[in-house]
Amino acid sequence: MHKVAIVGRPNVGKSSLFNRLIGRREAVVADFPGVTRDAKEGLMLHHNERITLVDTGGLWSGDEWEAAIREKAEWAMEGANAVIFVLDPRDGLSAADYEVAEWLRRLGKPVIVAANKMDSPKHEPYLAELWGLGFGEPVAISAEHARGLDDLLERVTAHLPEDDGDVSEVAPIRISLIGRPNVGKSSLLNAITQTDRAIVADQPGTTRDSLDVEWNYGGQRFVLVDTAGIRKKPDTAIEDYAIQRSEAAIERSDLIWLVVNAGDLGDHELKLANLAYDSGKPVIVVVNKWDLIPDEDLKRTEKDLNQKLHHISYAPRVYTSAINDYGIHDMLAEAMKLYDKWQSRVPTAELNRWLEVWQMKHRVPNFGGKPLRMYFMTQVETAPPTFAIFCNRANFVTRAYEGFLHNRIREDLDLAGVPVRLKWKEKGPYKGKGKAKGDDAE
């Protein structure tokens, strides 16, 4: 698959162009510089050409992130077939533009100069100065108004070799890392992939947008999604939008790693547990920085975890340290196991044998001498496993009895750690007189 990197100084519209080319709002866009820090990938198709597009942070920003952003941009250049150098020439070329141009010349990659924010033909006189950069004829574009993009892509594809068509047919497992700021999500991602793909810093809020990283483990493809830290109350509009992007990443994922700081548990973990619970996706609680907990505090910390995360008590836990790689392989092994269960299907005959056993193990609800009768059970969906139980009166089902069935399904059907759904369907003379029930994933 081809790879094309988008580079430029801060606030010239790189992320706007990235979003426009891949056809969706993947990268956070704002009117001030410094929003994008990590290198973000997205797939686009153009005339049957599959292109991995990489959005990079603003180069030569002059701030504390300059070195880290340049390091990630250099990673983006590895294997890139071409580079789109984005500029905003309306105020003339800046010193940072010339620094980026010199850096690109040293790398020796094919460069296409994209003069962004050229919203109308009257702006094209600004292009004259760009010839002096030495990369040939600039292309006038407007990412906001989709102007000049066909010309840009024509120049890009001229540098791409023929597509070899060697693309895996097996879809990767998508896993999102969620948690509040500074619990070590980016450090864990780097430890898993044995790279420095995500920028790591001591201060919270370093990650401003979700970052997708492809990874192969034991022959299984993964897409690991590092999300922005989710606060109770975002301090800025950009944080609020980053949280929305994190929630969207969760919706697109197959599994969730809920990362918590072993030594700093608070009420916010309950909100994150609810967010994971509502998604209906398998959740693995990753207790990070476990190596920092003194031996005498281990039992107390476990008790705090049980209290704060009681909504997802079914979720397995992995104890990790991103610093010394402790528990890293357990995260991936547990994810592969849960993913298989999440996709599994139980034969109807086996379900109904167990339904008889469960009714003998626990007395069914009884209202006014009329018991709940369960006639038949079948699995209607996977991912998450969803079961329909046909009964006489759906409104006879109590929360306690439903909880009992959830527990039996997980234990007896080998679905431990997986959220399951139950739907109640009425049949017989009372059909329609009770209220049909269908619960959220549990």
| 38 labeled binding residue | no
Q: Binding site annotation covers 185?
A: yes
Q: Where in the chain is the domain with CATH 3.40.50.300?
A: 2-157, 173-342
According to the model, what pLDDT value does residue 142 have?
92
Annotated ligand binding at 181? The verdict is yes
The reply, when asked if residue 191 is annotated as ligand binding, is no
Annotated binding-site residue? 186: yes
Work out whether the CA dihedral 157, 158, 160, 166 comes out positive or negative. positive
Residue 56 labelled as part of a binding site: yes
290 a known binding residue?
yes
Query: Is 228 known to sit in a ligand binding site?
Result: yes
For the whole model, what pTM was predicted?
0.68
Report whether CATH 3.30.300.20 matches the domain 348-438: yes
Query: Is 434 labelled as part of a ligand binding site?
Result: no
Residues spanned by CATH 3.30.300.20 within the chain? Answer: 348-438
Residue 236 is predicted with a pLDDT of 57
261 is in an annotated binding site: no
204 secondary structure, DSSP code: T
Residue 8 assigned to a binding site: yes
Q: How far apart are CA 156 and CA 388, in angstroms?
A: 53
- At residue 29, the pLDDT reads 44
Does 389 carry a binding-site annotation?
Answer: no
Taking the chain (442 residues) in consecutive chunks of 10 residues, what is each chunk's mean pLDDT? 87 88 62 52 78 80 65 80 93 88 90 92 88 93 91 92 58 88 87 74 50 82 82 59 71 91 81 81 94 94 89 92 91 93 94 96 92 95 94 94 95 93 86 58 58
The per-residue pLDDT for 377 is 96
Q: Is 12 annotated as a binding residue?
A: yes
Say if residue 119 carries a ligand binding annotation: yes
Q: What is the pLDDT at residue 437? A: 64
Beta bridge partners of 273: none
366-367 and 317-319 strand pairing: unpaired
206 marked among binding-site residues: no
* DSSP single-letter state for residue 147: B
438 is in an annotated binding site: no
Beta-sheet pairing, 374-381 with 386-391: antiparallel
Task: Say whether 180 counts as a known binding-site residue.
Answer: yes
Two tokens, residue 314: 């079914």
Annotated binding residue 118: yes
Q: Is 109 annotated as a binding residue?
A: no
> Would you identify the CATH topology of the domain 173-342?
Rossmann fold (3.40.50)
pLDDT score, position 24: 66
Query: Any binding-site annotation on 14?
Result: yes
Q: CA distances (Å), 353 to each of 3, 378, 385, 400, 423, in order?
A: 54, 11, 18, 22, 18
Q: Class assignment of domain 2-157?
A: alpha beta
Q: State the pLDDT at residue 23.
A: 77
- Say if residue 346 carries a ligand binding annotation: no
Has 13 been labeled as part of a binding site? yes
263 annotated among ligand-binding-site residues: no
390: tokens are: 């046909």
pLDDT reported for residue 212? 81
